[in-house]
Structure 1
Amino acid sequence: MKKALVILAASLSMSGAFAQSAAPAASATVAATAAAASSADVRAAQHQQRVEERITWLHTQLKITPEQEPQWKTFADVMRSNGQTMGALYKQRMETENTRNALDDMKQYAQIAQAHAEDMQKLVTAFEPLYTSLSPEQKKLADQTFRHGHEHEHGQSGKATKPKHKSKSSPGAAASDAEPASTPAAQ
């Protein structure tokens, strides 16, 4: 809806700009920037929704008990925080898509990869107490889910371990597009 409004507003502003000789290029640039920002906001919101879906799916998949909820909450909060971090980085990336040069592009990839590594370490730290609290059956489920989840996303496993989401990975972007990383929990 926002995108449609931005396009409509851009179209209206551009139609008036065509009457002025110097304004078309400036209006087109402003409209493109506004459309990119709106698109980035929409994608960031969609990413956060996928993170929440992933948290709900993992909670069910791992059969988290009421006694495990404190450890689960810590883990889920780290997932949310990681999702916000990556979402913000990718939003920034989308907003600068038309203005960044090759050096800026490489710097952004490095920033995303560094943030991904840091976020994964936070996730491991939060997951360890949860994993320790799991029953043997739950540990087996976790082992299968985390081992096979990545394979399923890339079509290498016959087992459906989670809903498949489109992922548009960029080289060096740590398998993420404001979408999570390479493990089921990172999503």
Structure 2
Amino acid sequence: MTLKMRTESERYVLRDATGDDVNLMLSWRNQDVNRQASKTSHVIGAEEHRRWWAAVRTDPSRRVLTYLHDGVPCGAVTFFDLRFDGPRTGSWGFYLDAEGLAERGETLPVWLAVTRAALGYAFDVLTLDRLDGEVLAHNTVVRQMNRRFRFVEGVGRTEVHDGREITVIPISLERGNRRRH
């Protein structure tokens, strides 16, 4: 499934991830900025990543997508805990090639575009009623961006991951509250 965000061009594209994307996804996920914004901050090894990829490819409650900007893969979007019986709900997350985008001065525009594309996929392709996620309390920039897209924060909870104590804040966005472009 491919979702083009602009019909007049192929500048912003979200497509199903392929085996060719796996090594890129691992390199992006292991970038320091992405590890520090994640619940698990350890460097993911090739075997751990291979097991993850093998599991998500056959799991009907998950989708892994690759985000392309100007034809260049630069992000991974994951949907998980998808439920299609009763209220249609799911959770999501994403990470970008932070280093490559920073070098090109494209971080903010791509961050906005991948979020728009992911929300389009969640509500227009998966036809979810509600999209859930999590954000770390110390990640104030992401929290501010989530509010811009009308996500609502829940009550945070303290967890321990990779030997560090973090506060995780649940977020959600109802279909009817989605900001349209």
- Note whether the superposition's TM-score is higher than 0.5: no
Q: Which has the higher helix share?
A: 1
For CA contacts below 8 A with separation 6 or more, give which structure has more relative contact order: 1
TM-score, length of structure 1 as denominator length: 0.29
Bigger CA radius of gyration: 1
Q: Which has the higher strand share?
A: 2
